[in-house]
Structure 1
Amino acid sequence: MDENRKIRLGISIGDLNGIGCEVALKTFEDSRMLDFCTPVIFASNKTVSFQMRQLKLNVTFNGIPDASKAIDNKVNIVNVWKEVPRVDFGQATKTGGEYAIKSLKAAVEALKKGDIDVLVTAPINKNNIQSEDFNFPGHTDFLAQELEGESLMFMVTETLKVGLLTDHVAVKDVSAAIIPRLIRDKINTIEKSLKMDFGIRKPKIALLGINPHSGDNGVIGKEDDEVLKPVIKEMADMGHLVFGPYSADSFFGSDGYKKFDAILAAYHDQGLIPFKTISFGQGVNYTAGLSKVRTSPDHGTAYEIAGKGVADESSFKEAVFMALNIFKHRTEYQELTQDVLKKQRLKRER
């Protein structure tokens, strides 16, 4: 990255019929946001202009052919397409899904090339994005393929961080999916992220049980005793600050989560229901463990309010700030790691 320019923040536009474009534009309608980064939206001038007219927004933007031409102190629009796709606010259409993926793929390619530094993804619809060219249940799985690393769905605020052992997996398949190797990998990924992305030197991690009451010593289920507990002990013996499994029904209500830097939930709803209840729309969906930084607001396309101009951009704005902060933490961590390695090398050479 050129030290003379601001962090370039790429934005994939999401479903054109949802609120993605609205919350992105509202975020940068406040020109003070340009003090923190240079936004690069992957869509087209005509698409963004249409959305602004419909939503009565006023954002001055700069159209560019590719992200490498982005200008600081401007909202930049990469013209990914020239045509004018049909927009049907509030409807799940094939066109809405096609252009969401066009935007996403262009943004990820720019991220891989280094033309943008971080990526914030606006919400997509997991049904209308499916095609022969895109067969993934969501952003996370696609990004895991495109960006090297072990991906982890990580829902975060400043005070609450919840990762998932399994994310978009049917409840009936959860137990079979949770095997020792998966648990070790997710613990390692979440621990590394807490150190590298959030500046926590010795992370303390809690694991939630798979079954009600963590199986009640095998009465309700044996997975917690036979799968989770041995791995937790193994990791703890190796020096990791990992604890559990804790009964999920009382863990958040008793404020037990405040004693830990992160919580690793067994499955999607076990982690996301308490997270979204506590965070009140201020949360961010972060894909930890990848070679690049990607965040997203913690809400969906919100078809029911799309096109009405009433969407709250708070979570999207939090996703922007979270991406910038994580990028800075990573840069500092890498510099510190390089200094340590250099000192070790010099010491060996003496």
Structure 2
Amino acid sequence: MTDNRVIRIGISIGDLNGIGIELILKTFEDKRMYELCTPVIFASDKSIAYYKKELKYNYPTHSVRELSKIEEGKLNVVNVWNDAVQIQAGVPTETSGQKAFQSLEAATNALQENIVDVLLTAPISKDNIQSADFNFPGHTEYLESKIDGDSLMILMSDDIKIGLVTGHIPVSKVSETLTKELICKKIDIMYQSLIQDFGIRRPKIAVLGLNPHCGDNGVIGNEDAELIQPILTEYQEKGQLVYGPYAADGFFGNQSYTKFDGVISMYHDQGLVGFKAISFGKGVNFTAGLEKIRVSPDHGTAFDLAGKGIANESSFKEALQQGISIAKKRFEYQELKTNPLKIKKQ
């Protein structure tokens, strides 16, 4: 990112037959969005034109054959494919999965090459996108394979930021996957992200336990007392505000999350059930820990809504705004690290 141009948002369309393109069109119908960023969609003119016609959006798009031709103030469409593709809104197909990957790959390449500053991913179908080139449980794992850094999936809203120690793995594998090294790595990523991406100088982090009631002194498992608690003690001895382990049900039920800047969850549904109960429809998925910034809405492809013009763009728009905010915070952080004595003009 540079400080002499508007932040560029690279957008992958997700599943071609899902709600991704509809969310994009609804978001950028608002002309004020172009004051915040320059959107760059990785798809094709033909596919965008199809949805514009079906959903009755008449505002113009800017066709881009070369990435050097991206223009501010316009909805740029980079032509990743030129073939005529049969679109079947609401129906996941092999073709719609292929185009989802082509869009994601092109957008990721542009992110790596600093042509765009932020990657905003519309939802994919984790089933039909699978191929020899995409053999991952989801976006997060794919991006970690392409971009420097270790990832942490953070689901965030104005109310809460919750990171996952383990992500897209079966519940039966969670306990055997948890190690001191893994838990510490995820806590460290959360801690650093809260500082550089959100401007929190001294983060306060809550860590959830693994077992019901945090094991009840070994009656329901020993991981909380023997693995998690000693880790947190070490952080506290270093002067870091990392507390727990907390039983997840009570932690969410009594709104203890409001007292912390970030929360670490041991597994996917432990964190996401609480998060979506609090923030569904306005939440954002942020991949922390990587050299580059990636955000996405907190929902899926919604094939049942696709092509009907009724999909809610709130989470997609929130992801866009959070991506812009994180990019600015990270840029400021890097500037301060480079020039620690620099006085910012008021």
Per-residue CA distance 1:203-251 (angstroms, 9 max, x = gap)? 0000111000011111001111111111111122122211000001111
Per-residue CA distance 1:44-68 (angstroms, 9 max, x = gap)? 1111000111122233110001333
Q: Give 1:139's aligned residue.
A: 139
Displacement of 1:338 after TM fit? 1.1
Q: Give 1:286's aligned residue.
A: 286
Equivalences for 1:306-317 in 2 at 5 Å? 306-317=306-317
Displacement of 1:342 after TM fit? 9.2
| Residue range with higher mean Cα deviation, 179-188 or 85-94 | 85-94
In structure 2, the residue corresponding to 1:129 is in which secondary structure?
A: coil
Q: Give 2:245's aligned residue.
A: 245
In structure 1, the residue corresponding to 2:71 is in which secondary structure?
A: coil
Q: Give 2:298's aligned residue.
A: 298
Q: Give 2:179's aligned residue.
A: 179
Q: Is the 8 A contact 1:184 1:235 kept in 2?
A: no
Q: Give 2:69's aligned residue.
A: 69
Q: Is the 8 A contact 1:284 1:295 kept in 2?
A: yes
Per-residue CA distance 1:240-265 (angstroms, 9 max, x = gap)? 21100000111111011111001101
Displacement of 1:308 after TM fit? 0.4
Whole-angstrom distance in 1 between the partners of 2:196 and 2:257: 21
Q: Give 1:276's aligned residue.
A: 276
1:22 matches 2:11: no
Per-residue CA distance 1:134-192 (angstroms, 9 max, x = gap)? 10111000100111011000001122101001010100000011100001100100000
Where do 5+ consecutive residues of structure 2 fail to align?
none
Q: Which amino acid aligns with 2:324?
A: L
Alpha-carbon distance change, 24 to 64 in structure 1, aligned in 2, over 3 angstroms = same
Whole-angstrom distance in 2 between the partners of 1:175 and 1:266: 9
Per-residue CA distance 1:6-51 (angstroms, 9 max, x = gap)? 1111100100111011001110011111010000000011110001
Q: Give 1:347's aligned residue.
A: none
Per-residue CA distance 1:62-102 (angstroms, 9 max, x = gap)? 00013332100000000000012221111121111100000
Q: Which amino acid aligns with 2:45?
A: N
Q: Give 1:346's aligned residue.
A: none
Q: Give 1:326's aligned residue.
A: 326
In structure 1, the residue corresponding to 2:339 is in which secondary structure?
A: helix
In structure 2, the residue corresponding to 1:198 is in which secondary structure?
A: coil
Q: Is the 8 A contact 1:56 1:309 kept in 2?
A: no
Q: Which amino acid aligns with 2:225?
A: D
Q: Give 2:128's aligned residue.
A: 128
Q: Is the 8 A contact 2:336 2:342 kept in 1?
A: no
Q: Give 2:97's aligned residue.
A: 97
Whole-angstrom distance in 1 between the partners of 2:68 and 2:316: 24
1:339 matches 2:339: yes
Alpha-carbon distance change, 4 to 339 in structure 1, aligned in 2, over 3 angstroms = closer
Q: Give 2:157's aligned residue.
A: 157
Q: What count of residue pairs does the alignment treat as equivalent?
A: 343
Where do 5+ consecutive residues of structure 1 fail to align?
344-350
Alpha-carbon distance change, 193 to 2 in structure 1, aligned in 2, over 3 angstroms = closer
Q: Give 1:221's aligned residue.
A: 221
Per-residue CA distance 1:274-309 (angstroms, 9 max, x = gap)? 111111310000000000110000000001111100
In structure 1, the residue corresponding to 2:15 is in which secondary structure?
A: coil
In structure 1, the residue corresponding to 2:173 is in which secondary structure?
A: helix
Equivalences for 1:256-275 in 2 at 5 Å? 256-275=256-275
Structure with higher helix content: 1
In structure 2, the residue corresponding to 1:273 is in which secondary structure?
A: helix
Whole-angstrom distance in 1 between the partners of 2:327 and 2:71: 20
Q: Give 2:88's aligned residue.
A: 88
Whole-angstrom distance in 2 between the partners of 1:162 and 1:42: 29
In structure 1, the residue corresponding to 2:328 is in which secondary structure?
A: helix
Q: Is the 8 A contact 1:111 1:119 kept in 2?
A: yes
Whole-angstrom distance in 1 between the partners of 2:276 and 2:60: 33
Q: Give 2:236's aligned residue.
A: 236
Whole-angstrom distance in 1 between the partners of 2:127 and 2:341: 47
Displacement of 1:2 after TM fit? 4.6
Whole-angstrom distance in 2 between the partners of 1:302 and 1:59: 25
Q: Is the 8 A contact 1:25 1:59 kept in 2?
A: no
Q: Is the 8 A contact 1:67 1:116 kept in 2?
A: no
Q: Is the 8 A contact 2:159 2:279 kept in 1?
A: no
Q: Which amino acid aligns with 2:170?
A: A
Q: Which amino acid aligns with 1:56?
A: K
CA RMSD, 1 decimal: 1.3
